[in-house]
Amino acid sequence: MTTTSRVKRPTIRDVAAKAGVSKSLVSLVYSTPQAVSQHRRDLVMKAADELGFSPNFLARSLAADTGTFIGILVADLHNPLFAQIVDQVRSALEAKGEYSFMTSAMLPNAAGEQVIDSRTVSALIDLRPKSVLVVGSIPDMHQLSALPEKVSIIVASAIPEDLPRASVVRSDDEKGMRLLIEHLVENGHKKIAHISVNDGLVAKSRRDAYKSVMTEKGLEKYIQIKFAKKATETAGLEAASELLESKDSPTAITSYNDLLAIGAQGASGADVAIVGYDNTFLAELRQISLTSIDPGNTEIALKAAELLSVKLIDDGRKSKTYLLEPKLVIRNSSRSLAKVH
């Protein structure tokens, strides 16, 4: 196709002319749709659809005084928990007429370890989002401090380090671990171990909760914590194998997340009760049937979307932590001690 024959891309002026409205109204429909009546929004969107018009949100964000999109940084695209939260947040934002731009904040280095992708984070900051969502634990999160104070930062399913301005939406880990351990104790278990990881404050929070509840239940002498190399199924298999090969092997294992617990199932067979945390879609698969804590993933996503859509600085509210009520979902993996032996 030659330069002269190339079809010209429709502009915002074309949409305004076809819809019979002003250019500024079309701009308002895309930047602040709630400020425009439904009738006029429909006129503009119908004209845009017929012309094949698609606004360049990133370019408009750079040119505007305030950002026009919401940035989403994900710690691990392979974690089904984070994928579920991101999908629900984006759907909720779309329903509010908000545009979101999602990218991974991590990448593997030469040794195969996940490290922060500083260039991607810097690029997101440079694009001037109007608010930012961080899903999961990301090291060096303080980089986001470079964002203007008027840009709200929401962290979902993680505890941010060195970023006091961020508001947090996550599960109440102490209550979640309490539900798991009380369930196992009711099923006759005392020798209950825990598989954790060294990375992130959420892992530490759940680990501390495990120790606290075990001590409260008079089971302090049975506390066993095995650190996995990563929060993955393979690492969970290795950690559980070491626990079960020890002289004082447990009859039940709690885990930092579902992936570690699923790996632990591979090491234990039918001999040990296994429970996870996060209640991902994997947990409910018939072949896995993993008892797990539902941290309220849908509620976390909806609350995060709500916070992303308001200006926390402008209305005088400071950063807050929202702890959502977890629920125990019982499946076949947490068999009673009587059935184990």
In which domain, by residue range, is 306 found? 70-172+297-325
Alpha-carbon distance of 72 to 10, in angstroms, equals 28
305 and 162 co-located in one domain: yes
226 and 334 co-located in one domain: yes
Residue 259 has pLDDT above 60, yes or no: yes
**Residue indicated by tokens 């979101």:** 100
204 and 232 co-located in one domain: yes
Q: What pLDDT sits at residue 327?
A: 97
24 falls in which pLDDT band (50, 70, 90)?
Answer: confident
Residues 165 and 153 sit within 8 Å (Cβ to Cβ): yes
215 and 335 co-located in one domain: yes
pTM above 0.85, yes or no: no
148 and 105 co-located in one domain: yes
**Residue indicated by tokens 């947090």:** 168
Among 84, 32, 93, which Cα is nearest to 307's?
93
194 and 282 co-located in one domain: yes
Cα 296 to the chain's mean position, in Å? 11
Q: What pLDDT sits at residue 338?
A: 59
222 and 334 co-located in one domain: yes
Q: What pLDDT sits at residue 5?
A: 46
Q: Does residue 184 form part of some domain?
A: yes
Q: Which CATH number covers residue 319?
A: 3.40.50.2300
Determine the average pLDDT of the residues in 133-138: 93
Q: Which CATH number covers residue 45?
A: 1.10.260
Q: What pLDDT sits at residue 124?
A: 86
Q: Does residue 240 form part of some domain?
A: yes
Residues 156 and 296 sit within 8 Å (Cβ to Cβ): no
Cα 172 to the chain's mean position, in Å? 15
* Per-residue CA distances from 61 to 29, 101, 242, 310 (Å): 15, 12, 52, 17
| Structural tokens at position 131 | 């608010």
What number of other Cβ atoms are within 10 A of residue 204's Cβ? 16
Q: Is 307 exposed, middle or buried (0-12, 13-18, 19+ CB in 10 A)?
A: buried
Residues 252 and 181 sit within 8 Å (Cβ to Cβ): no
112 and 206 co-located in one domain: no
For the segment 210-247, what is each residue's pLDDT rounded down to a tens digit? Answer: 999 999 999 999 999 999 999 999 999 999 999 999 98
Identity of the amino acid at 121:
V
Determine the average pLDDT of the residues in 49-57: 75
Residue 313 has pLDDT above 60, yes or no: no
74 and 134 co-located in one domain: yes
Q: What pLDDT sits at residue 106?
A: 86
Q: Does residue 46 form part of some domain?
A: yes
Q: Does residue 290 form part of some domain?
A: yes
Determine the average pLDDT of the residues in 195-215: 95
Cβ neighbours of residue 11 under 8 Å, at least 6 residues apart? 53
182 and 273 co-located in one domain: yes
Q: What pLDDT sits at residue 316?
A: 46
Residue 111 has pLDDT above 80, yes or no: no
Residue 147 has pLDDT above 50, yes or no: yes
229 and 333 co-located in one domain: yes
Residues 250 and 192 sit within 8 Å (Cβ to Cβ): yes
As for how many domains the chain has, the answer is: 3
Rounded mean pLDDT of the chain?
A: 87
Eight-class DSSP state of 10? P
312 and 277 co-located in one domain: no
* Per-residue CA distances from 232 to 16, 66, 287 (Å): 52, 40, 18
Q: Does residue 63 form part of some domain?
A: no
Residue 181 has pLDDT above 80, yes or no: yes
Q: What pLDDT sits at residue 245?
A: 93
* Strands (DSSP E) found in the chain: 70-74, 100-104, 106-108, 114-116, 131-135, 152-156, 167-171, 192-196, 224-227, 252-255, 273-275, 292-294, 321-324, 327-329
The rounded percent of the chain whose pLDDT value lies above 90 is 55
